[in-house]
Amino acid sequence: MSVFSAWKHVHILVVGDVMLDRYVWGQVDRISPEAPVPVVLARDTTETLGGAGNVAANAAALGAQVTVFGVCGRDEAKGRVDQLLSERGIANSLISLQSMPTISKTRIMAGKQQCLRIDQEDTITLSSAQEAELVHRLGEAMRPQTVCIISDYGKGLVSSTLCRAIVDQARSASCPVLVDPKGRDWERYRGVDCITPNSLEFAQYADLGGADGSLLSRTGQDVCSRLGLSSLLITRGAQGMLLVGRDFDPVNIPTQAKEVFDVSGAGDTVIAALGLGLGAGMSWEQAARMANAAAGIVVGKVGTQPVWAHELERALTRQDYGTPKVVSTEKLAQEVQTWQHADQCVVFTNGCFDLLRHGHIRLLQQAASLGQRLVVGLNSDASVRRIKGPERPVLGQQDRATILAALECVDRVVIFAEDTPERLLREIQPDVLVKGGDYREDEVVGRDIVKGRGGRVEIIPIADQVSTSDLIRSILRQNGTACG
């Protein structure tokens, strides 16, 4: 079970401007004799969900339960939207109006280059009864582990009255509300939990010119206070993201994009991943780092496409949410709670791990197979000296921690200063405690802590019989021989 298994319990409600994105794919070999424009020889046409539909598609691709709310016409494009929603397992709560077309964007592509975009749309105007029906449907769908995302593309659906009604409904149901904004009228978003503008949108709203990070942070915190937001996530392109909030220090998150082909829909991916992270119990920073990793994936694709769970899982395993695997006890305790909330079994083992050898690797691999997350407690240099003598460790604690963190089977490494991990175990409360060697269970330090919460102790024999001390003596003998 991966971290994404928690997302199947999260319900994402997406309300906003749903669109149909068409792509006509072709190649250009000549310029038209009729006008100075390229002639695109069409080879294929694809259709996908756009706007709020793309937010819903991203959330569904990552494993969430998703319902989409909005307005479409009664036309052929609406039929395609319905079909695409059904194919992706997204619950459809769209209102069909005869008075407007389904919003459609047709892009003419020559390879990876967009040559032209053709839009079909009218401004959306709902009657009081239609707006009340939309709000009623939203209210009925809210339940525990629900996150509401407002995807505002400025087409007229997301009015002040609709936003106010959504915020009121969400508060009564204890559901966070996130907004991808449009335009400079952010007053209508007052009271939502988070707004996710790009840097240009934020600068326009806040009347900023070219703003550095410190000015963005100060201004962002002012905006949070003024609009009653919990946080503000500003996407900054190649500069990554800036997360600011009322109750925590600003967090700069470096970009994860390796190569950028198309930024279309990147904001949709960001807010979908952010909402899923929050719904799964992550902190604002954890969810924002996950959203940043998702954005780094999607800008490497051409056209409006979602990020899939396996893609994000692979990126997060490689990048570890943008933070090192070597963490403090406090941070680890929070992460363990998040993993356990996601029904993941957390395995813990500990040791000095001085001069990592074959037996250590086999022990760690077997320990990792007992659950979904492996945490390694590492004795500090001072505690190793107390246990092993003044000549140990051979490698310092940072070197030992870095080597352990490089192992694929290890999820986190935490350094503890005491001779035993008893205090650490009380802090993090793992599910399985692993010890290597010829111990009996009643000899394992911390067994009462783990078993007291319903966990278990596992004894795994060391695969090789050569100790680290033996290895060091052998090295010294060989060096002595060589020197002699």
Q: Which helix (H) or strand (E) holds 318?
A: helix 309-319
Domain boundaries, the chain: 3-322, 329-474
- Tell me the pLDDT of the chain (484 aa) as tens digits: 344 566 778 999 999 999 999 999 999 999 999 999 999 999 899 999 999 999 999 999 888 999 999 999 999 999 999 999 999 999 999 999 988 999 999 999 998 788 999 999 988 888 889 999 999 999 899 887 799 999 999 998 999 999 999 999 999 888 999 999 999 999 999 999 999 999 889 989 988 765 566 788 889 999 999 999 999 999 988 788 999 998 888 998 887 655 555 466 688 989 999 999 999 888 898 889 889 888 888 887 766 677 877 777 766 655 544 446 888 888 888 889 888 887 889 999 999 998 787 788 989 999 999 999 999 999 998 899 999 888 888 888 888 898 898 898 999 999 999 999 999 999 999 999 999 877 788 889 999 999 998 999 999 887 555 555 555 555 555 555 443 3
**What is the pLDDT, as a whole number, of residue 423?**
93
Furthest-apart CA atoms within the chain: distance in Å: 95
Q: Do the strands 231-235 and 241-245 form a parallel or antiparallel pair, or are they unpaired? A: antiparallel
Q: What is the three-state SS of 202-229? A: HHHHHCCCCCCHHHHHHHHHHHHHHHCC
Supply the DSSP symbol for 418: S
Task: Report yes or no: 159 and 169 within 8 Å, Cβ to Cβ.
Answer: no
Report CA 267 to chain centroid distance, whole Å: 13
Task: Report yes or no: 28 and 40 within 8 Å, Cβ to Cβ.
Answer: yes
Structure tokens at 383: 């505690």
Q: Which helix (H) or strand (E) holds 388?
A: helix 381-388
Q: Which amino acid is at 125?
A: T
Distance CA 362, CA 339 (A): 24
Q: What is the pTM of this model?
A: 0.65
Q: Which of 21, 268, 354, 411 is catalytic?
A: 268
Structure tokens at 408: 């694929």
Q: Do domains 3-322 and 329-474 have the same CATH topology?
A: no
**What is the pLDDT, as a whole number, of residue 321?**
41
**What is the pLDDT, as a whole number, of residue 262?**
47
Residue 155 sits at the vertex; the CA angle it makes with 157 and 195, to the nearest 5 degrees, is 75
How many residues belong to the chain? 484
**What is the pLDDT, as a whole number, of residue 354?**
84
Q: What is 3-322's CATH number, 2.40.30.10, 3.40.50.300, 3.40.1190.20, 3.40.50.10490? A: 3.40.1190.20
Structure tokens at 30: 């000549």
Distance CA 283, CA 289 (A): 10
**What is the three-class DSSP state of 40?**
strand
Q: What is 329-474's CATH number, 3.20.20.80, 2.40.50.140, 3.30.70.1290, 3.40.50.620? A: 3.40.50.620
Distance CA 39, CA 199 (A): 36
CA atoms within 13 A on the CB side of 460: 24
Is 268 noted as a catalytic residue in this protein? yes
Distance CA 326, CA 346 (A): 16
